[in-house]
Structures are given as C-alpha cells and as structure tokens.
Amino acid sequence: MILLTLALLFSAAAIQFRNRKKQLKAVRVRK
C-alpha cells in the first residue's frame, strides 16, 4: 500500500511538473 501511494504521488508530481513547463513555454510565446 505504501509503495502504491508513493507511486501515485510521484506520478502526480511528474504531471504537475510537465504542466508547469507547458505553462512557462506558453507564457514565453505570448510575450
């Protein structure tokens, strides 16, 4: 169970990191 929760948290963090990168790129393009 602990490993499963850690995996879910890691995947969620990775998705958020990717989204932030996309947002930063979008902001740079807008400017």
Q: What is the pLDDT of residues 1-31, one digit of tens each?
A: 899 999 999 999 999 999 999 999 988 887 7
Residue 10 host element (H or E): helix 2-30
The pLDDT of residue 22 is 94
Q: Which residue is it, tokens 């969620």? A: 12
Structure tokens at 13: 């963090």
C-alpha distance from residue 10 to each of 13, 21, 22, 31 (Å): 5, 17, 19, 32
The pLDDT of residue 29 is 84
pTM for the model? 0.63
